[in-house]
Structure 1
Amino acid sequence: MRHVSAAPAAREYLSAFYRGNHASFVAAIALTLLDVPAALVGSWIIGEIIDVITSADPGRLTQLLAFSAVFLVASVAISTGMYRAKCAFIYRALAQYKELAFRRLSEKGIRAFTRESTGSYLSLLTNDVASIEENYLKRGFLLLYQALLFVATLVMMFFYSVPLTLATLLLCALPIVASVLMGNELAARERSVSEGNERFVSQLRDLLAGFSVIKSFKAEEEARGLFGAANTSVESLKRARYWWECLIGAVSQNFCASLLQFGVFFIGAFLAVGGQISAGTVLIFVNLCNYLIAPINVVPQYWASRRAALSLVEKLAEVVGQNAEHAGEKVEPALRRGIELSRVGYSYVPGTPVLEDVSMTLAAGGSYALVGGSGSGKSTLLNLLMGADDGYAGSIALDGHELRGVDSASLYDLMSLIDQSVFIFDDTLRRNVTMFRDFPEAEVADAVRRAGLADLVAEKGLDYRCGENGSALSGGERQRVSIARALLRRTPVLLLDEATAALDARTAFEVTEQILSLDGLTRLVVTHRLEAPLLARYDQIFVLRGGRVVERGTFDELMAARGYFYGLYTVSA
């Protein structure tokens, strides 16, 4: 019941079902064991009543009536307790499974969310969990019940007639073998449905996220076509799985029911005519056949479904295990000397460099700007500094510690990134700024002020709900929330990737000025706003072109050189 043969990576997730959940599990198993003989007692009562009729014993009939009344009350009590224990176990097991999955998901590195499809995670934690609930947990108990019922039925049959029981077993063999063999294909089809659900969820997420673009370009028909194709694909996979489930049921139920019941009835009649068993025993056998047919019908199907659900647990373990967060050298959350990049290169596609031979020194406490045209590698460089990928060439050293070898959690304590894409949770302003943690009110107020959120907070309050992905906020307000988050964390290094792009010119100027005025902070700012008063405050400006640093210097030095930067500045002026 506890573990079908599972891959080692999946065992942690299977164990989550039982953590602190043993009492409900044991109670459910114990009551299931008691429920099995309760089912067989009914067959015994029917046989006894037939024999009482033939013997005309009213006293015995009265005893059977009293026993039946007690049996019914006990049976209802056992069944009620069993279902209650099952419910308690299953729903705690699922909660713990999902919590463990999300915990491991949250431990993945940043690269997991830049390279992998979030549709996969959505499907794993929704569609797949529903299948695991039904096919692994619920059917696990049913599998145990039916298997025990099958064994107990055979024991009872052997007690009444060994020859008829052996004949019954021979009649059962063929459908059992056929159903088990067909179960392997069901596991493969279940995994295909899971993968199809991933693609469907990813497509649906993209269509909903890009709805405004679809409407503005009048691409509704094309969007419906994309949805239709994804929907047809996944439903075709579901149909193929359901057809196979039905085929397994047809082989087991139709073939088995006809063969077993007619066979047992005729063989039993032959033995009864020969005086080897009574008519009551034949009726007991015919009734007990129902308890053989049910397990033969469902056990192979349930076993196949359980194996298919187990493959989904293994798939979760496999996906969550990819791009796990880097565990390496722990560094203190302080930058004492600075960040040194030496001949750094990087490619998304082999042979097509995005960064090439980039070298720069960022002294601790300094302010630096990255400027350049679109596609020059500015955002890629900041992502590398945040540990998005250790597959870069050259060296990136933080106070002499190579970035590849630095523990991810230590890195996030050292630096934070404000980028162009902002996510706002459907929660209050306060919880979005603090990211659900507790900070002193004075620090929250200071971050709000520096990020330019003071007017909004004065009007709406920190308990104002932001809506799904900040739907109740303007684009500029969402960007300010993102800036306030980073300022509140006060990491020693702050990376900004067009962080003020969504703000109006005046607010952008004020927010950037606030950031540049912070003491003891190392700043690297990607900006397209080339404003002389701000540019003059940077200790050094690095100019990227085609993935290379083509110029570097202070604002005055670069203007005097009249090179590529001078051209960018004059065009933007």
Structure 2
Amino acid sequence: MSKYILKRKGMIFALLLLSLVCSTTSIVIVSFIQKIIDSIADKYFDETLYYIILIMIIVIIGFIFNNLYIILEAKIIQKIHIEIKYDLFESLLNIPCEDFFKTSVGSKINLFENDLRNLDDAYFNNIFNVIRCIFILSVGTIYLFYLNAFEGFLLLLFSFLLFLIPTYTGKKIDISFSRYSDCKSIFISKLKEYFEGVNIIHAYSITEKIKNCFSDINFKVESSLYILKREIGFYNQLMISGNYFIISLSFAIGGLLAINKKITLGQLIAISQVINILIQPECEIASSLVEIKGTQTIRIKLKEILDKRNTKVLKTDNLNLSDNLESLEYKDVFYEVNGSPILKNINLKIDAGKKYFILGPSGCGKSTLLKVIANQIKATRGSIYFNSEKINANTNILNALVSIVYQDVFVFNDTIENNIKLYKNYSDNIFEDVIELVGLNKKIKNKLSSTSLIEGEGVSGGEKQRIAIARAILRNVPVILFDEVTSALDKDSEKIIMSKLFNMKDITMIFVSHKVDEEFLKRADHIYCLNDGMIVEDGTWKNLIKNKAYFYHIYAKE
């Protein structure tokens, strides 16, 4: 995380200079107070007035430079916030889909809402606080040695002993920070889950059960916070007790020196003032070091995610992206989850401009196969060929060739137009043609750019599916995959949409469904029948009917 600070070397250098000036002004004021007291004791009242005027000037200078310090520190932290949030967001977007969904959305939101906030409060802010306090301690200790070397030595000795406390307590606080962060992540994830499933909660009368579950996770997160606060509080009490001891000892020694005429009354008061000034930054440094050490687990977790931002996607050797798609072929493809096969020995070929169906019962692996074709999940084994040339499974070339349309359509909280265009620029003519093709009605067209969708409110399931189809067509890629995309449409609307899609000769389309109108099965160039993760039969409608095997008995017997 320190790299985000070091990238702003110029601003940090300016901050260091300001810290030096601010620290120096505080100690200069103390030295002038000493002069005032000594001049009063010696009855040099002209000198007293002179130092009072100097103090007023120094106070004004200190106010100006302290304010500049605050502004510059805030600006540095703002820039760090913007950059680290962007990098974290980019890193999360770079995670492959199959890995992205291994953790909940709530846990990812928690990175921004909780982990980054803890990192800000306990790491970045404390680093700047330590820098400033070190300058105050350094300047103050030098002046204390100037006043009395013995007092300065004592302060250094006991300060060193106090700084040993973070070594003892830091590890425990780190564990507590990590435990609280994990509990908070689970809390946010569950809260999001409960609110998203409120219809199910009411429909199935499980309100009491959900309230009990919420009570449990709420207790765990608050208990972890209680332990964290308790440990930080114990540490703070140790520091306060140690500081009281240093103050008492310093006053006692200073008083003895004053009684024995070793130092003046003004020096005694100056020593007292310096020690009072130094005690606070001393406490803050020790406290900051504990909190910085306590963020170690969070920093490691965020660093692991941020490092993925720089992960290079492997390129495919000898692959010309300007080549027109002739074919995509998948040979001997397997996909496994925790050793359990979901897809087994898949072999299929997709030729440019042709229309395909993948049929099979629910749970047979149809949607998983589409995700493998779209490169949203990586095949565990097998080979992929683009225009008869083998491509690397880790390449992102398939993302540029293939669009996928899901049954469950996601919409952004934005205008309908932006939901279709997905924030890209298209000509009005092309956009209007696509709108007409998917059959978005006049009511939708009239509010394309004026109405924001909030979780899809005001748009029917069928209209959302049309929006999803329009997105894919507008993207103008050679292959589009459709996963049960007409399920929310009535039979007549489905037939109209399917007819228009089949008439798009230049686009290769693969339709996944468990039930399809016979007209389109007959028009399809090839049909693949999937069962239990395997292609059990494939061919044209005519051949499959003639074979009277799996397809015939399941789909076309009537």
Which TM class, normalised by the smaller chain length?
over 0.9
Tell whether 2:328 aligns with 1:339. Answer: yes
Tell whether 2:67 aligns with 1:80. Answer: yes
Q: Which of 373, 378, 383 is the equivalent residue of 1:385?
A: 373
Residue identity opposite 1:512 in structure 2: M
Corresponding position of 1:511: 497
Residue identity opposite 2:127 in structure 1: G
CA distance in 2, matches of 1:50, 1:406: 77
Asked if the contact 2:92/2:305 (under 8 Å) is kept, the reply is no
CA distance in 2, matches of 1:461, 1:391: 39
Residue identity opposite 1:28 in structure 2: L
Tell whether 2:535 aligns with 1:546. Answer: no
Residue identity opposite 1:251 in structure 2: L
Corresponding position of 1:495: 481
Mapping of residues 128-167 of structure 1, within 5 Å: 128-167=115-154
User: How far did residue 559 of structure 1 move?
Assistant: 3.1
Q: Which of 391, 395, 416 is the equivalent residue of 1:407?
A: 395
TM superposition outliers: structure 1 runs of 4+ over 6 Å: none
Residue identity opposite 2:332 in structure 1: R
Per-residue CA distance 1:275-304 (angstroms, 9 max, x = gap): 211222222112211223212312122122
Deviates further, 494-503 or 154-163: 494-503
Asked if the contact 1:17/1:97 (under 8 Å) is kept, the reply is no
CA distance in 1, matches of 2:387, 2:312: 21
Residue identity opposite 2:435 in structure 1: V
TM-score, normalised to structure 1, is: 0.91
Mapping of residues 43-122 of structure 1, within 5 Å: 43-122=30-109
Per-residue CA distance 1:158-183 (angstroms, 9 max, x = gap): 10111222233333333221233212
Corresponding position of 1:430: 417
Residue identity opposite 1:231 in structure 2: N
CA distance in 2, matches of 1:507, 1:69: 83
Q: Partner of 1:342: helix, strand, or coil?
A: strand
CA distance in 1, matches of 2:72, 2:115: 24
Asked if the contact 2:329/2:350 (under 8 Å) is kept, the reply is yes
Asked if the contact 1:186/1:241 (under 8 Å) is kept, the reply is yes
Structure 1 runs not aligned, ≥5 long: 1-9
Per-residue CA distance 1:459-494 (angstroms, 9 max, x = gap): 423432112x32232222222211111110111111
CA distance in 1, matches of 2:282, 2:60: 29
User: How far did residue 374 of structure 1 move?
Assistant: 0.8
Q: Which of 464, 476, 483 is the equivalent residue of 1:478?
A: 464
CA distance in 2, matches of 1:157, 1:191: 40
Corresponding position of 1:534: 520
Tell whether 2:298 aligns with 1:290. Answer: no
CA distance in 2, matches of 1:431, 1:306: 43
Corresponding position of 2:348: 360
Mapping of residues 3-402 of structure 1, within 5 Å: 14-17=2-5, 19=7, 21-253=8-240, 255-309=241-295, 311-321=297-307, 326-329=313-316, 331-332=320-321, 336-350=325-339, 352-402=340-390
Q: Partner of 1:396: helix, strand, or coil?
A: strand
Structure 2 runs not aligned, ≥5 long: none
Q: Partner of 1:470: helix, strand, or coil?
A: coil
RMSD, aligned α-carbons: 2.3
CA distance in 2, matches of 1:459, 1:374: 38
Asked if the contact 1:172/1:256 (under 8 Å) is kept, the reply is no
Q: Which of 402, 416, 441 is the equivalent residue of 2:428?
A: 441
CA distance in 2, matches of 1:321, 1:564: 49
Count residues in correspondence. 555
CA distance in 2, matches of 1:223, 1:135: 34
**Structure 1 pair 114–184 and aligned structure 2 pair: CA distance change class (3 A):** closer
**Structure 1 pair 406–450 and aligned structure 2 pair: CA distance change class (3 A):** farther
Q: Partner of 2:97: helix, strand, or coil?
A: coil
Identity among equivalent pairs (%): 23
User: How far did residue 305 of structure 1 move?
Assistant: 1.8
User: How far did residue 383 of structure 1 move?
Assistant: 0.9
CA distance in 2, matches of 1:343, 1:334: 25
User: How far did residue 106 of structure 1 move?
Assistant: 2.4
CA distance in 1, matches of 2:361, 2:133: 69
TM-score, normalised to structure 2, is: 0.93
Asked if the contact 1:108/1:325 (under 8 Å) is kept, the reply is no
**Structure 1 pair 398–213 and aligned structure 2 pair: CA distance change class (3 A):** farther
Q: Partner of 2:530: helix, strand, or coil?
A: strand
CA distance in 1, matches of 2:389, 2:287: 56
Residue identity opposite 1:299 in structure 2: I
Residue identity opposite 1:151 in structure 2: S
Corresponding position of 1:7: none
Deviates further, 418-427 or 354-363: 354-363
Q: Partner of 2:144: helix, strand, or coil?
A: helix
User: How far did residue 311 of structure 1 move?
Assistant: 4.3
Residue identity opposite 1:347 in structure 2: E
